[in-house]
Chains A and B, each alone.
Chain A
Amino acid sequence: MRVVFKLFASLADFLPAGRRGNLVEIEADPGSTVGDLITRYQVPEKKAHLVLVNGHYIAPAGRATHVLQEGDEVAIWPPIAGG
């Protein structure tokens, strides 16, 4: 299934080839979780600070169990803040 994978700020370096800006469309196995993606692209666990799927927050404890659906957009940031 196709999933849109987005890595922002300093995490952009972990995006695979073929990226457009901060996103890349990837093929993932059905049943893949957010955690699987983080592992597959070797995003350091500590740096994957803020994880959103389709804009919804996924708590650290839910990453291993949150199963992705076709067309989902996964976005990840390192520790950041603003004002």
Chain B
Amino acid sequence: MGWNRKVLRVNLTEGTCKAEPLNMQWADEYLGSRGLATKYLVSEIDPMVDPLAPENKMIMSTGPLTGTMASTGGRYTVVTKGPLTGAIACSNSGGFFGAEMKFAGWDMIIFEGRSPKPVYLYVENDKAELKDAADLWGKSCWETEESIKHRLQDPLVRVSSIGAAGENQVLFACIVNDLHRAAGRSGVGAVMGSKNLKAVALRGTKGVSGIKDMKAFMKITTEKKKVLADNAVTGEGLPKYGTQVLMNVINEMGALPTRNHKDVQFESAGKISAEAMHEKRPTDGKPQLVTNAACFGCTIACGRIAEIDKSHFTVVNNPKYWGASGGLEYEAAWALGAANGVGDLEALQYANLLCNEQGMDPISFGATIGAVMELYEMGVLTKEQLGIDAPFGSAEALARLTEMTALGEGFGKEIGQGSKRLCAKYGHPGLSMTVKGQEFPAYDARGIQGMGLAYATSNRGACHLRGYTVASEVLGIPVKTDPLVTEGKPELVKAFQDATAVFDAAGICVFTSFAWTLADVQPQIEAACEGDWSMEKLNAMGERIWNMERLFNNAAGLTNKDDDLPPRLKTEPAKVGPAKGLVSGVEKMLPEYYALRGWTPEGKPTAETLERLGL
């Protein structure tokens, strides 16, 4: 069956933990993780709820393939209403936490209410209890994980926690598990903080049971692992260079947003790239990259483990950062680097470490610093306000502002509200590089046109992982399309969005899609889960999940006006590179996209569409 058929409902206000059966009818319609948890959330909360109020709920959920021997089957999802966007928030993380939830016998944990005092949830197989976290409050994610393991005298406990950022309700706070994996986007960590929930610690010894056809499952998962191993991208490119290898590619294409999207190429891209991470440093003769790493059950292993230069000004007096730890991924390196014009790889790694330590999304944080630096250069923000000179390119400012934001000091409190609120407050709302209040990731909508539409229509605000058309427009997966044109992109974006929803709902990593299509995932689901899981059903399900999220957003007060890009991307053409002279054609693409989706010109699913999808 793939599922444990068991949900843990934790009422933080009352301090209770109760088991209840999983709604199997919903599981049949929404599969798991992103799909199923969203179905629960939208059925249980008022879409107009204040995201940081006790009435909002937060769900941690696995998919039917989580914890199984399917490659990359270690993912879990946090679903809630997001404080950064006011839209559905759905953040996905790898590591080992998700698999542990399955091993403890649960499919998902629903948190409701607000605890009167800091607590953490401890689950050991069937036993679940809220424990006092007074002494953990104020601790970083790293200290929290260590303290809990020590306290429970169990090094195998898997921990998800918030750091100072989540406690302070930084609107882009994330939830960190296994030290450097994170449910990163949309501020899910702030919701956890608002509930006085410091951490979730899981210990499961049951393994995964209930696979529908074990023999068929073993056979098909082994076969599909071979597909990943034989594919040059998932078998070689990602493990060796990680996602960071894109830095030079996207820069060459003139689609690397630089200095708050003023430019599309960064002169120091090479210095902050995957290639730079492999190079020996003159100071200590070692490269920053130590090795790669894998999440639970992953046969790709794209993760980066890195060691910062001990003599760098950021850490020279701070040995706690000297050890090997989570390294820069492409998105983090871009947001902390190119987005601010900072070309100091060690400073980026320092900021990255702080983001992991105190639980902040490096994308939204770094991109917000881009806005801060632009406002500083315009004279709108001053040294007196910021506590430091902050021109584009200042590694010192990046390092200091990271500390201030993570710990909620001085102007860091305002940065922690994200760029939309910050730019509006200082009279320049157009300088916030966001959609629905969430900061862009690392692809410029002028140079990769499909991504502009993907950002504008992403249900959780600007995001690359809701419809990664870069695969097609840049890498030629599954087919190469021209990144500079808008023709055909609405269809491409929709196809990516719907397929990704299925990968997410299954509990596997979307990076498998560089080698797998839905046709590779389908037989794995089929062998694991009871019921009919035809391609036709999965395709319809992806579309159903997308529309369900959209309906929630519409009910939360978002409209087609929120499917838009900042004026800069629509009026200031790219200055150099292949996209020179181009702006985003998002306005041209949107009507066609709505029509393809079966939505009205106002972006609302029509009655026929809802009926067709069983919504």
Residues of A within 8 A of B243 (CB): 81-83
A77-B249, A80-B246, A81-B237 known; A9-B275 Cβ under 8 A: yes
Binds B, one of A27-35, A46-54, A64-72: A46-54
7 residue pairs A–B, Cβ–Cβ below 8 Å: A46-B232, A78-B237, A81-B237, A81-B246, A81-B471, A82-B249, A83-B468
Asked if A77 and B245 sit within 8 Å, CB to CB, the answer is yes
Q: Is the interface of B mostly helix, strand, loop or mixed?
A: helix
**Interface positions of A from 38 to 67, Cβ below 8 Å from B:** 46, 49-50, 52, 54-57, 59
| Closest CB in chain B relative to A74 CB, distance in Å | 10
B128 at the interface (CB under 8 A from A): no
Asked if A81 and B330 sit within 8 Å, CB to CB, the answer is no
User: Which B residues are closer than 8 A to A by beta carbons?
Assistant: 231-234, 236-238, 240-246, 248-249, 252-254, 270, 274-275, 329-331, 464-465, 468, 470-471, 474-477, 480, 482-483, 510-511, 514, 577-578
Asked if A52 and B245 sit within 8 Å, CB to CB, the answer is no
Closest 6 CB pairs of A and B: A79-B232, A82-B246, A82-B243, A80-B237, A55-B578, A80-B245
Asked if A22 and B471 sit within 8 Å, CB to CB, the answer is no
A75-B252, A81-B471, A82-B244 known; A22-B330 Cβ under 8 A: no
Asked if A79 and B578 sit within 8 Å, CB to CB, the answer is no
Residues of A within 8 A of B275 (CB): 8-9, 12, 21-22
CB-nearest residue of chain A to B236: A79
| Closest CB in chain A relative to B467 CB, distance in Å | 12
| Closest CB in chain B relative to A51 CB, distance in Å | 11
A79-B237, A80-B241 known; A52-B253 Cβ under 8 A: yes
Q: Is the interface of A mostly helix, strand, loop or mixed?
A: loop
Bound-state CA distance A8–B474 (Å) is 16
Residues of A within 8 A of B241 (CB): 9-10, 80
User: Which A residues are closer than 8 A to B by beta carbons?
Assistant: 6, 8-10, 12, 21-22, 46, 49-50, 52, 54-57, 59, 73, 75, 77-83
| Closest CB in chain A relative to B299 CB, distance in Å | 15
Residues of A within 8 A of B477 (CB): 81
A9-B245, A9-B275, A22-B275 known; A81-B233 Cβ under 8 A: yes
| Closest CB in chain A relative to B344 CB, distance in Å | 16
Asked if B238 and A81 sit within 8 Å, CB to CB, the answer is yes
Residues of A within 8 A of B330 (CB): 82-83
Asked if B246 and A57 sit within 8 Å, CB to CB, the answer is no
Residues of A within 8 A of B231 (CB): 79
Asked if B511 and A83 sit within 8 Å, CB to CB, the answer is yes
Residues of A within 8 A of B476 (CB): 50
A9-B240, A21-B270, A52-B253 known; A75-B248 Cβ under 8 A: yes
Residues of B within 8 A of A10 (CB): 240-241
Apart from the given pairs A8-B245, A12-B275, A80-B475, 16 other A-B contacts in the complex at a CB distance below 8 Å:
A9-B237, A49-B232, A50-B476, A52-B252, A54-B577, A75-B248, A75-B252, A78-B237, A79-B231, A79-B233, A80-B245, A80-B246, A81-B234, A81-B237, A81-B514, A83-B464
Q: How many pairs, one residue from A and one from B, have CB atoms within 8 Å of each other in the complex?
A: 93
Bound-state CA distance A54–B265 (Å) is 12
Bound-state CA distance A59–B475 (Å) is 11
Bound-state CA distance A52–B249 (Å) is 9
| Closest CB in chain A relative to B39 CB, distance in Å | 26
Residues of A within 8 A of B233 (CB): 79-81
Bound-state CA distance A78–B578 (Å) is 21
Residues of B within 8 A of A59 (CB): 480
CB-nearest residue of chain B to A22: B275
Among A9, A10, A12, A82, the one with the most B-chain Cβ atoms within 10 Å of its Cβ is A82
Residues of A within 8 A of B237 (CB): 9, 78-81
Asked if B245 and A82 sit within 8 Å, CB to CB, the answer is yes
Residues of A within 8 A of B464 (CB): 83
Bound-state CA distance A57–B480 (Å) is 9
Residues of A within 8 A of B248 (CB): 6, 8, 22, 75, 77
Residues of A within 8 A of B246 (CB): 80-82
Residues of B within 8 A of A56 (CB): 578
Among A46, A50, A73, which residue has its beta carbon within 8 angstroms of that of B249?
A50
Bound-state CA distance A52–B476 (Å) is 13
Bound-state CA distance A83–B475 (Å) is 11
CB-nearest residue of chain A to B302: A83
Asked if A9 and B274 sit within 8 Å, CB to CB, the answer is yes
CB-nearest residue of chain B to A21: B270
| Closest CB in chain A relative to B260 CB, distance in Å | 21
Residues of B within 8 A of A80 (CB): 233, 237-238, 241, 245-246, 249, 475
Bound-state CA distance A10–B253 (Å) is 20
Asked if B252 and A55 sit within 8 Å, CB to CB, the answer is yes
Residues of B within 8 A of A78 (CB): 232, 236-237
Bound-state CA distance A6–B470 (Å) is 22
| Closest CB in chain B relative to A9 CB, distance in Å | 5
Among A21, A49, A55, A79, which residue has its beta carbon within 8 angstroms of that of B253?
A55
Among A9, A49, A52, A80, the one with the most B-chain Cβ atoms within 10 Å of its Cβ is A80
Among A22, A52, A81, which residue has its beta carbon within 8 angstroms of that of B270?
A22
Residues of B within 8 A of A9 (CB): 237, 240-241, 245, 274-275
Bound-state CA distance A8–B241 (Å) is 10
